């Protein structure tokens, strides 16, 4: 399973140290998500758009991802214009949409898209394994990162198991439909997948024991900051200050 769609590339952002990217990412998303000033959010969205451009990420796939982000927004666009009172904008029968009620979902939609663009262009341009490596160097609790490492390592394996079982279902002429039969098949499917996961976890644990595992992996490779990382840190800090002062 190829999951890290945006991590492959040769752009400037792909080459940066993942620690630097993580440290730049966190303040930006919290600043954007918590802002209530439309100009600040627009500036942040502009910065995110530029970052995604530098990472050369624009592709049909990226727009497909952004579409998913905006699905939840439909709930807000349907309800908020009518539940916030204010200056009336237009009437639809007994319902009145207010101007304040339209700016609110607009603000949230812009924020969500900006954060999604930050996500694909900063942590998204590193592989998950190098990000978990970076998390250890940034002193994240070792235990949870180790669990995350195993989790990510075995998604591919369990995903293969899943694909094989689906093929088997298709070979037997299974078609998903709105029926009790479909639910039954998928329930047994899920049960089997979890049984296989348990059995694999037992084998993996025995293999780990044999190799003297103590609950964490030692860090062998270390990151070294290069000139490009320092320049990026300087520029992104300037950007951050400008946006936060707006």
With a CB cutoff of 8 Å and minimum separation 6, the contacts of 44 are: 28, 31, 32, 35, 111, 114, 243
| 3-state class (DSSP) for residue 127 | coil
Least gap, CB of 231 to other proteins (angstroms): 25
Residue 129: name the closest of 223, 18, 23 by CA.
18
| Residue 92 sits in the site that holds other proteins (CB under 8 A) | no
Pairwise CA distance, residues 157 & 197, whole Å? 9
| Residue 236 sits in the site that holds other proteins (CB under 8 A) | no
Q: Which is nearer to other proteins, 44 or 232 (CB)?
A: 44
| Residue 154 sits in the site that holds other proteins (CB under 8 A) | yes
| Residue 12 sits in the site that holds other proteins (CB under 8 A) | no
| Residue 183 sits in the site that holds other proteins (CB under 8 A) | yes
Give the number of other Cβ atoms within 10 Å of residue 3's Cβ. 10
| 3-state class (DSSP) for residue 91 | strand
Least gap, CB of 229 to other proteins (angstroms): 21
Whose tokens are 């990000």? That residue is 131
Which range binds other proteins by CB under 8 A, 8-16, 47-55, 152-160, 233-241? 152-160
Q: Write the interaction track for other proteins spanning residues 193-232; mark x where CB under 8 A is met and - where it is not.
A: xxx-xx-xxx-xx--x----xxx-----------------
Which range binds other proteins by CB under 8 A, 12-20, 31-39, 51-59, 225-233? 31-39
Interaction with other proteins in 50-79: which residues (CB under 8 A)? 65-66, 68-69, 72-73, 75-76, 78-79
Pairwise CA distance, residues 14 & 51, whole Å? 11
Transcribe 149-189 into DSSP letters: HHHHHHHHHHHHHHHHHHHHHHHTT----SSHHHHHHHHHH
**The binder of other proteins chosen from 9, 30, 58, 237 (CB under 8 A):** 30
| Residue 182 sits in the site that holds other proteins (CB under 8 A) | yes
| Residue 162 sits in the site that holds other proteins (CB under 8 A) | yes
């Amino acid at each position: 399973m190829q999951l890290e769609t945006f991590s492959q590339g040769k752009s400037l952002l792909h080459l940066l140290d993942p620690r630097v990217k993580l440290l730049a990412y966190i303040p930006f998303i919290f600043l954007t998500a918590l802002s209530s000033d439309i100009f600040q959010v627009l500036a942040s969205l502009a910065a995110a758009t530029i970052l995604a451009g530098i990472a050369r990420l624009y592709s049909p796939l990226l727009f497909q991802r952004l579409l998913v982000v905006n699905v939840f927004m439909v709930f807000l666009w349907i309800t908020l214009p009518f539940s916030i009172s204010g200056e009336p904008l237009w009437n639809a029968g007994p319902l009145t949409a207010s101007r304040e009620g339209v700016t609110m979902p607009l603000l949230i939609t812009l924020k969500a898209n900006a954060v999604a663009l930050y996500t694909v262009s900063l942590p998204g341009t590193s592989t998950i394994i190098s990000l978990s490596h970076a998390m250890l160097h940034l002193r994240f609790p070792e235990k949870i990162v180790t669990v995350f490492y195993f989790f990510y390592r075995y998604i591919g394996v369990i995903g293969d198991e899943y694909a094989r079982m689906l093929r088997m279902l298709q070979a037997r002429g299974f078609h998903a439909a709105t029926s009790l039969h479909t639910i039954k098949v998928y329930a047994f499917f899920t049960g089997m997948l979890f049984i296989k996961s348990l059995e694999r976890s037992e084998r993996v644990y025995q293999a780990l024991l044999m190799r003297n595992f103590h609950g964490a992996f030692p860090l062998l490779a270390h990151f070294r900051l290069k000139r490009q990382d320092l320049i990026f840190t300087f520029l992104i800090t300037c950007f951050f200050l400008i946006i936060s002062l707006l």
